Structures are given as C-alpha cells and as structure tokens.
C-alpha cells in the first residue's frame, strides 16, 4: 500500500491533485510484487507493500530513491530543479524541487514507519542534456547530495551526469534499476 502525505491521513488515490504527490493502488492488478507506482515529473511517492516505484524521462532531472530496508518502506522523488523559491510554489508542488522534495519524502517515509537513521539513498539522473554554461543537471545532483548529507541520509550508490536520459525502477529488494537511453542497464 502506498501512503499519502501525513497531513492528509491514509488512503488511496490514483491521481496527482496538484501537490506533487502521486499515489496509486497499483498498475496491472495482481499481488504487490507485480504492482507499480508511477512517479511523474515533479512528484514523489511512498511504497510500503512491496510495490515497484518507477519513473522515466530523467534528463537533467534527478531521481532520489530512499529506503528503510528493515521497515520495508521505500520512496521515490523525481525532481526538476535544485532549489525552491521560498515565495513560490514549493508547498503546492513539493516534488518539483530537490530540496523541498527530499524534505517531504523523508517526512512521508517516517510517517509510513521508516526510521530516519536507517534511511539510505540512491541517486540517478542529473544529465547535461544541453550544452549550457549553467546546466541544471549537475546542480540538481549537487543539491541532492547536500540535502541528503544535511538530513543524515547516506548516498550508497549513484548513476549521475553524462549526457544520456534514464528510467528507474525501485523494487522491493531495495535495488534501484537504472536503464539509460542508450540501452545500458545496471542495478544500484
């Protein structure tokens, strides 16, 4: 079962209500091991019943996968930009920004039963898709690393940078499968 933000209580939704939090009861039916929760751009989700969390379209965006293996709680963030502008929509779209998204995901994981000191992170994405002097991808990765360090969450594996897009699957075994657009696949 996946869980919404602790501020709304528990329940199941199959849509994004604009706050950047997507929850799904599963795609394709079957048992939890077969169900998937699709995390869109600027969204985050938590899984507690063995569902696979997936996201695609990672170019300069960054995926942050957090898990507490002992509690069986995992979460995935697909963030677009490094930092929220305090005066704008960070609260309304928590997953859009790396900093606000990591904070929200940690809060949601703890509300679902994770222990903050047992969380581990895997990070993917942050490619330099365009030749820009102020490329967003590397800034997303750097911000994710700083926010995770500040939260006391170790990054145990990463697949970041380069100039190739990625798709990720965060399974019940805690492994983050990263498939690059060039066909290369590996598990973090």
Task: Tell me the catalytic residues.
Answer: 61
Please, is 150 exposed, middle or buried when counting C-beta atoms within 10 Å of its C-beta (0-12, 13-18, 19+)? Answer: exposed
Rg of the chain on CA atoms, in Å:
15
Helix axes 98-111, 136-150, angle to 10 degrees: 40
In which order are the strands placed within the sheet that holds 43-47?
43-47, 73-79, 62-68, 120-125, 155-160
Cα–Cα distance for residue pair 74/93, rounded to 1 Å: 20
Q: What DSSP character marks residue 51?
A: P
């Amino acid at each position: 079962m996946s869980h919404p933000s602790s501020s709304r209580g528990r329940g199941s939704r199959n849509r994004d209500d604009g706050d950047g939090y997507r929850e799904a009861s599963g795609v394709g039916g079957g048992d939890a091991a077969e169900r998937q929760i699709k995390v869109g751009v600027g969204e985050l989700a938590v899984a507690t019943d063995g569902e696979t969390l997936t996201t695609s379209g990672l170019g300069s965006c960054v995926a942050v996968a957090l898990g507490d293996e002992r509690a069986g709680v995992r979460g995935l963030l697909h963030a677009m930009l490094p930092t929220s502008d305090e005066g704008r929509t960070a609260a309304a779209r928590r997953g859009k920004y790396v900093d606000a998204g990591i904070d929200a995901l940690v809060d949601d994981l703890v509300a679902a039963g994770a222990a903050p000191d047992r969380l581990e992170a895997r990070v993917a994405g942050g490619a330099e898709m365009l030749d820009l002097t102020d490329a967003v991808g590397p800034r997303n990765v750097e911000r994710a690393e700083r926010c995770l360090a500040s939260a006391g969450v170790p990054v145990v594996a990463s697949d970041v940078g380069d100039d190739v897009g990625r798709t990720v699957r965060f399974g019940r075994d805690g492994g983050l499968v990263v498939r690059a657009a060039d066909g290369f696949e590996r598990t973090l």
